[in-house]
């Protein structure tokens, strides 16, 4: 418990400092451009720089993208002290848009290593991948250690999906969670005063029991997102809705099981996926990736050095969930 209290205090301090730097950045960029190089440390570069991985024809190229970590647009680079090297949604979307518009790019090799994430963000990536396909480009996905829930959602539009035998994928479905500490508060004499404009304004409040009416409302939201997930698989994998719903009961599958069930096409690793895509694209394609020039000031190596992994995850959860419950295409252990 003492560790959790300490972790909470650290998280609060981090957020205060992060907000301060965000305000500094806002007032700096809202006026004339600052010549202070130190401020560049806290700003995200909009320029996408390329790095050639394999030489080849500049007019016949393959882009490599990595989608690693939780697919969520909160926290961003500026507010997550642990997110400097993690998933950055806005930047990832900019890369996809650049790929769509670049006529020299004929194929996309997308590496997915993610437990999933937000319904909104997953849908945004999915739709952008469809636009890339409509632009005449081939998409191959290579699944890493895990490509579950939202990780599978964004993989579904691919022309071909590869996974390792031991990849965890599936977890096809939607989850929405909240914590209720009403009984704990009552035990310690803590009371909450809630003034609301409507009966359901405090739905999913951690300070009151969920009613059947509350649950019915939230279930409709989950059901809508679930149906959207099912439709994505039906279209992406050319499967019947009945078959998809048989598979989409929330369970996870190994890569081997996913191939047997038609969710994945081939067993293979990243190099196998790239080799197959190069053959599909033909010629002598150049392979490149975008450099990640974003550096995070708030990577807190010192905090990570004295806090165990469980407390680091607790801090991340505190920060990422501070805006309240949300619908997730997410595999939860």
Active site residues: 149, 201
Beta-carbon neighbour count of residue 163 at 10 Å? 31
Cα distance between residue 193 and residue 325, in whole Å: 21
Residue 106: strand, helix, or coil: strand
Cα distance between residue 127 and residue 224, in whole Å: 17
The CA dihedral of 147, 148, 153, 155, to the nearest 10 degrees, is 20
- Angstrom CA distances, 242 to 156, 159, 223, 249, stand at 17, 22, 16, 12
- Packing angle, helices 212-237 and 119-134, rounded to 10: 20
Place of tokens 């029991």: 209
Cα distance between residue 98 and residue 107, in whole Å: 13
Which of these, 326, 294, 307, lies nearest to 83 by C-alpha position?
294
Task: Tell me the residue length of the chain.
Answer: 333
Residues 264 and 169: beta-carbon distance below 8 Å:
yes
* Cis preceding linkage at 75, omega within 30: yes
Q: What is the DSSP string of 313-327?
A: HHHHHHHHTTT----
Residue 296: strand, helix, or coil: coil
């Amino acid at each position: 418990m003492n560790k959790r209290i300490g972790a909470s205090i650290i998280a609060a301090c981090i957020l205060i400092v992060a907000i301060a730097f965000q305000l500094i950045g806002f007032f700096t960029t809202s006026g004339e451009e600052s010549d202070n190089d130190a401020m560049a440390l806290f700003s995200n570069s909009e320029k996408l720089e390329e790095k050639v991985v394999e030489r080849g024809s500049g007019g016949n190229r393959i882009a490599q993208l990595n989608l690693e970590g939780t697919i969520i647009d909160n926290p961003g680079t500026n507010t997550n002290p642990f997110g400097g090297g993690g998933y950055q949604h806005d930047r990832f979307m900019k890369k996809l848009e650049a790929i769509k518009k670049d006529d020299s790019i004929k194929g996309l090799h997308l590496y997915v290593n993610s437990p999933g994430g937000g319904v909104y963000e997953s849908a945004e990536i999915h739709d952008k991948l469809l636009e890339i396909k409509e632009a005449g480009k081939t998409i191959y996905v290579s699944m890493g250690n895990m490509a579950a829930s939202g990780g599978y959602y964004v993989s579904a539009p691919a022309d071909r999906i590869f996974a390792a035998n031991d990849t965890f994928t599936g977890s096809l479905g939607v989850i929405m969670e909240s914590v209720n500490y009403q009984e704990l508060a009552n035990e310690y004499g803590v009371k909450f005063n809630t003034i609301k404009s409507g009966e359901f304004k405090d739905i999913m409040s951690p300070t009151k029991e969920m009613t059947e009416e509350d649950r019915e409302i939230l279930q409709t939201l989950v059901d809508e997102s679930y149906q959207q997930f099912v439709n994505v698989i039906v279209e992406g994998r050319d499967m019947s809705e009945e078959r998809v719903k048989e598979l989409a009961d929330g369970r996870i599958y190994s890569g081997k099981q996913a191939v047997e069930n038609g969710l994945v096409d081939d067993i293979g690793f990243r190099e196998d996926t790239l080799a197959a895509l190069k053959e599909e694209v033909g010629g002598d394609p150049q392979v490149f990736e975008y450099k990640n020039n974003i550096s995070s000031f708030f990577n807190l190596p010192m905090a990570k050095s004295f806090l165990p992994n469980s407390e680091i995850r607790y801090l991340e959860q505190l920060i990422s969930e501070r805006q309240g419950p949300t619908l997730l295409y997410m595999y939860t252990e």
